[in-house]
Amino acid sequence: MLSGDITQRARRAQFRAAREFVDRLNTPSTLVIPGNHDIPLFNLAARLFWPYANFLREFPSVSGVHDSTRLLVVALNTTRPSRHKNGVLSHEQIEAVVAQLSQARPGQLRVVVTHQPIAVERAEDEHDRLRGPLREAMQRWAEAGADLVLGGHIHLPYVMPLFGAETPLKRRMWAVQAGTSVSQRVREGIPNSVNLIRWGGVLPLGLCLIERWDYLAEARAFARARATALDTGWLPPEPPAFSP
């Protein structure tokens, strides 16, 4: 899952290079959504009339759904050509996610992805937070069964709960933010990093493991730097009552 800012200036050659990089990963399935850097900035005509043209040359859609045995991912396009950086979440998008989550099957980790963060840890990052009815989104998505809300945009990796006294939710739900994967645009001395999300397999039922892998320049390789265990509260469905 690539949560946006695939390029620096949304140029055709940059998207081609990004596509070639993704292809080299050789993953069974990949979802990619645009970030604010993936819309032309200086070409005003392109930004106004065909803002996603270069993106769509290499990637099939600006939003999407991945549905597999263990995973349901709903990825949204929160960029808006009329805005320089900020993203917007609409009521229609909130309800579209609810509709997708309502079709989740037992055993699936349920994930929503936006480019701009739905929640931030620091007051100085509040201006980069996603715009729109976020409290409604969190309440509706939690009620519909979402476990994680992934994001990017601010180049800071963190995991934080979305449930609490200020935002009472029907179930546990977390924000999981990505850092900078391969670009040189890192922040505050934090190295390039990627998040690896583990679910199922040998893990206990309901436990989701978020691993942050940092790039070690001397070793020229990524290594696990931190692991955060999240108890989603997921339980297998109860067996039907026995009737003699």
pLDDT average, residue stretch 113-129: 96
Average pLDDT value over all residues in the chain = 93
Fold classification of 12-231 (topology level): Purple Acid Phosphatase; chain A, domain 2 (3.60.21)
Q: What does the block give as tokens for 61?
A: 């859609």
CA distance 12 to 194: 25
Check residue 236 and give its pLDDT: 52
Per the CB < 8 A criterion, the answer to whether 116 and 124 are in contact is no
* Angle between helix 134-144 and helix 91-101 axes, rounded to 10 deg: 10
Listed by start position, the domains of the chain span 12-231
- Provide the pLDDT confidence category of residue 244 given band limits of 50, 70 and 90: very low
